[in-house]
Amino acid sequence: QVHLAESGGGSVQSGGSLRLSCVVSAYTYSDYCLGWFRQAPGKEREGVAAIDSSGTVSYADSVKGRFTISLDDGKNTLHLQMNSLKPEDTAMYYCAAEWGPFFSPAEKVVRGLDTLDTWGQGTLVTVSS
């Protein structure tokens, strides 16, 4: 059974940086979409960034130029480097994944037009002004 475990959340001041990591167990397929999502208090969950096996990398407009998603294949770990953090980035951040030939494309996932089927428990990011 596939398991996702996020880490790296914490509290930082505005302008600071954090690096989130998501270890993916039982990662055996060559076709995939992996992504980061977030949910702030009182708001709906939104896509932050995603990467799929076609090579597509997609970001939400609100994080472009500040966040970078990357995949360390050797360690089965998905990262989200978050720079220039803002108070509005405060949220619970979730890692999610989907495998197989019919994976959801990264662009659709970030835009909320499609979803992924395996989710982690989340890691909290708090940015103070």
For the stretch 15-74, pLDDT in tens is 999 999 999 886 667 899 999 999 999 999 999 999 999 999 999 999 999 999 999 877
DSSP letter, residue 107: H
Given phi > 0 = left and psi -120 to 50 = alpha, else beta, which region is 76?
left
Given phi > 0 = left and psi -120 to 50 = alpha, else beta, which region is 122?
left
Nearest to 35 by CA among 21, 46, 49: 49
Q: Which residue has 């720079």 as its token pair?
A: 83
Pair 70, 81: CB distance under 8 Å:
yes
Identify the pLDDT of residue 30: 82
Question: CA 97 → CA 65, 84, 100, 104, 115, distances in Å?
Answer: 23, 26, 10, 9, 9
pLDDT digits (tens, 9 = 90+) for 70-94: 998 777 899 999 999 999 999 999 9
Pair 3, 26: CB distance under 8 Å:
yes
